[in-house]
Structure 1
Amino acid sequence: MAENGSSKLDTPTNISLVATGDLVSQSLEYKTVSVFLVLLVCGVGIVGNVMVVLVVLTTRHMRTPTNCYLVSLAVADLTVLVAAGLPNVSDSLMGTWVYGHAGCLGITYLQYLGINVSSCSITAFTVERYIAICHPMRAQTVCTVSRAKRIIAGVWVFTCIYCMLWFFLVDIQVNSAGHVQCGYKVSRDLYLPVYLIDFAIFYVIPLLLAIILYGLIARILYLNPLPHAPNSGIAMATTLRRSCKEPSDATKGGAQSGRPKTVTKMLAVVVVLFALLWMPYRTLVLINSFVSTPYLDAWFLLFCRTCIYANSAINPVVYNLMSQKFRSAFRSLYHCRRHAAHTRSLSTLQMGSQITPTRHDPGQMPPGPSWGGGGPLLGPAASLLFMK
């Protein structure tokens, strides 16, 4: 690798990858592909995650415990896309760090904040699904929206404090070629334990827990369903309706019984994608942490970055494909926005027509008081004041 490399992955874990300084990363082909991929993936991800947040916050029946965790995941993914993805565009174009010392600290902090909160949110909704499916009686008091909000607040507070560690590990540096880079200011022996702890807490442990819990869930849903005794059946149905906030409609019995499976499969897909899309980067960093000559091929680094950004962008697509409720809510949100814009346009036209002067017969007095016609203008003017 060239001496003027400025990738924070080189040192070895940050995902805000600056152009690596070699001939490949400085080529027009590499810059074009890199900028195009980042803008495409981040653009789709930002729009999709914003829609997830809006749908859950503005639609009453979408405010469920599981969806609360999905909102937390969407906000975390937005943080990753904005703090890690978008700065990468300027890095690729300029080949140097342009955000200064404060930007280096702040962007690095936000990157790890988003990454770690997304991992914790996935773990939280995995545990929530396990309790709702495997322990329906306990779920009546545990799987609630208020408790989900408290757990999410605790996750964000814990992660905000934990990620402050990165303020002391990174700094900007200027190499011999004059390129500014945002990278680690400590040796490998010091940052390696920190990375391994981070790797274990926010990747290995969540995945192991997910494998165990989804295995138990699958046993209940597919291999060994709960007995259909009257009391247990009522408790199970009541709990699942409370957890998923599905309306109890006798005419939709078959669909109702299948919805817990659909929700669980959708969340399991999110976990699998998290594992697969983070695996190239995590594996590369783990290997490079122990070898004397790290593997830093520019195209493979671009592949790792793209996988990370895709992980933060793909979840809304999964919701839309696998959840009828999300699909309908997305469609309703889109139509509501269009209807609101159309209504505002009509209101503007109507107000314009109301304030248009009216022609009167020359032989008749104009309506209203004789002191300047203030009366006729009061209606339209007042309505304009209160129009939003």
Structure 2
Amino acid sequence: MSNSTNSSECSSDMEWYIQLPFIVAFMAMITIAAVGNIIVIWIVLAHKRMRTVTNYFLVNLAIADALISIFNAFFNFLYMLKEDWWFGSAFCKTSMFLAPCTITVSVLTFMAIAVERYIAIVHPLKPRMSSKSILFSIALIWLISSIISVPNIFFAQLKKQEICEKTQCMLTWPDQDDDYSKLGFAYDVFLMVLEYFLPLTIIAATYSRVGLKLWGGDVIGETTSVQAIKSKRRIVKMMIIIVIIFGICWLPQHLYFILININNNINSHPHIQEIYLIIFWLAMSNSMYNPLVYCYMNARFRAGFKFIFRWLPCVQYDRGLEGSRGTVVWLRNSHTAINQGHSMATTSLDSYSKNCSQQQRLLKNRTGGN
């Protein structure tokens, strides 16, 4: 959302029966996105077993999705619905900054996960990322995203419509001429390439190589178990689905801003408000799908979600997994199952050894001690 329509004409508000479906759709999407991503953050940070390299990046993705759903989707939906900005100049600049920043954070995080998976699977002998490397990568992602989004802070401003008594939050570029700006168009193209086509191309190439390694019959490592390969495949499948969803959700948004720069008469279409609300909902809804995908495709995330929603009658939850500090035992104790299995195996071996010794003594007694 780098441009806004600058129209001198006053448009009437949508009828209530048209507004109602949009209100329900946006409120449901924002609630699912905000709650779902906050739960994802809690599942990873509150349970040591979940603190893997990939999951730390998923936390970064969840933070970006939570920010865009709470601070961008909600307020901009109200703005587009009423075509009047009620939230002041400072939040106008903040909202304009957050939109490209959080999107860039998401795509750069996708790229970081793809590279991490590529190294782990295609080059398994190379050392994995350390905690410091992960934190540095995440900080670098936010720094790059912030630098890219800084122009929106400088050029976002409020504009009064005296006739309608409404306020617009919009980008006004130095070369702004009515509704067109070469700088604005160049910035939109730059964002589309940097936030969409370039990263998705790199991610597609990376996962293609990973896919050939996992499904092409190549040996990942002599000590790699079948279960480990299946686990890697599940993670890669999950990330590919998430990236595909991102591509579908954001393509109409990017194309819309390119098209209105080429032909601003599009904004004169009688139903452009409804059309753009659908496009905007689709783009913002990307933030709610990721937690749903994690819950569906990952048993550990599913256990965490079941713990949070265990009070619902439709949720089947084993209360034996509930910890004393509001955590899930299965997620919190990283080595419990392994240690229990080891103890059982050790006990069985000890019992077997004792039985063998007793049988040998009985045999010696029967044969006269020979």
Give the TM-score taking structure 2 as reference length. 0.76
In 1, are the aligned partners of 2:185 and 2:258 still within 8 Å (CA)? no
Overall identity of the aligned pairs, in %: 22
Give the Å deviation of 1:10. Answer: 4.1
Alignment partner, residue 185 of structure 2: 192
C-alpha separation in 2, matches of 1:330 and 1:287: 41
Alignment partner, residue 300 of structure 1: 275
Is 1:327–2:302 an aligned residue pair?
yes
In 1, are the aligned partners of 2:152 and 2:171 still within 8 Å (CA)? no
149-158 or 271-280, which deviates more: 149-158
C-alpha separation in 1, matches of 2:52 and 2:135: 10
C-alpha separation in 2, matches of 1:329 and 1:280: 34
319-328 or 59-68, which deviates more: 319-328
In 1, are the aligned partners of 2:249 and 2:286 still within 8 Å (CA)? yes
Give the Å deviation of 1:90. Answer: 3.4
C-alpha separation in 1, matches of 2:10 and 2:30: 24
Give the Å deviation of 1:198. Answer: 1.5
Note the 1:154-233 alignment, pairs <5 A.
154-175=140-161, 176-186=163-173, 187=176, 188-226=181-219, 232-233=221-222
In 2, are the aligned partners of 1:174 and 1:180 still within 8 Å (CA)? yes
Q: For 2:293, which of 313, 318, 321 is the aligned residue? A: 318
C-alpha separation in 1, matches of 2:251 and 2:11: 25
In 2, are the aligned partners of 1:44 and 1:313 still within 8 Å (CA)? yes
State the one-letter code of the partner of 1:284.
Y
For residues 161-188 of structure 1, give each alpha carbon's deviation from its aligned partner in whole angstroms, at most 9, with x where no partner exists. Answer: 3322211221110123221010121222
C-alpha separation in 1, matches of 2:185 and 2:248: 23
Alignment partner, residue 261 of structure 2: 289
C-alpha separation in 2, matches of 1:8 and 1:178: 23
Give the Å deviation of 1:338. Answer: 8.3
Give the Å deviation of 1:79. Answer: 1.0
Give the Å deviation of 1:324. Answer: 1.4
Distance change (3 Å), C-alpha of 1:99 and 1:292: closer
Distance change (3 Å), C-alpha of 1:340 and 1:172: farther
State the one-letter code of the partner of 1:308.
A
Alignment partner, residue 247 of structure 2: 275
Counterpart secondary structure, 2:168: strand
Give the Å deviation of 1:257. Answer: 2.7
Is 1:77–2:65 an aligned residue pair?
yes
Distance change (3 Å), C-alpha of 1:8 and 1:199: closer
C-alpha separation in 2, matches of 1:134 and 1:299: 47
RMSD: 2.6
In 1, are the aligned partners of 2:80 and 2:273 still within 8 Å (CA)? no
Give the Å deviation of 1:271. Answer: 0.4
State the one-letter code of the partner of 1:314.
Y
Unaligned runs of 5+ in 1: 1-6, 13-19, 238-252, 343-388
In 2, are the aligned partners of 1:132 and 1:143 still within 8 Å (CA)? no
C-alpha separation in 2, matches of 1:114 and 1:314: 16
Alignment partner, residue 373 of structure 1: none
Q: For 1:38, which of 23, 26, 30 is the aligned residue? A: 26
C-alpha separation in 1, matches of 2:323 and 2:168: 48
In 2, are the aligned partners of 1:84 and 1:107 still within 8 Å (CA)? yes
Counterpart secondary structure, 1:137: coil
State the one-letter code of the partner of 1:192.
F
State the one-letter code of the partner of 1:233.
E
Counterpart secondary structure, 2:222: helix
Note the 1:52-201 alignment, pairs <5 A.
52-91=40-79, 94-138=82-126, 141-175=127-161, 176-186=163-173, 187=176, 188-201=181-194
In 1, are the aligned partners of 2:2 and 2:184 still within 8 Å (CA)? no
For residues 61-110 of structure 1, give each alpha carbon's deviation from its aligned partner in whole angstroms, at most 9, with x where no partner exists. Answer: 10001001100000000111012111135325644100111121112112
C-alpha separation in 1, matches of 2:2 and 2:144: 25
For residues 110-145 of structure 1, give each alpha carbon's deviation from its aligned partner in whole angstroms, at most 9, with x where no partner exists. Answer: 22221211111111111111111111112xx24344
Give the TM-score taking structure 1 as reference length. 0.72
- Count of residues paired in the alignment: 305
C-alpha separation in 1, matches of 2:210 and 2:226: 20
For residues 175-230 of structure 1, give each alpha carbon's deviation from its aligned partner in whole angstroms, at most 9, with x where no partner exists. Answer: 23221010121222121111211211111111000111111111111124226xxx
In 1, are the aligned partners of 2:158 and 2:169 still within 8 Å (CA)? yes
Alignment partner, residue 316 of structure 2: none
Counterpart secondary structure, 2:265: coil
In 2, are the aligned partners of 1:49 and 1:77 still within 8 Å (CA)? yes
C-alpha separation in 2, matches of 1:21 and 1:226: 66
In 2, are the aligned partners of 1:173 and 1:183 still within 8 Å (CA)? yes
Distance change (3 Å), C-alpha of 1:254 and 1:79: same
Alignment partner, residue 228 of structure 2: 256
Counterpart secondary structure, 1:181: strand
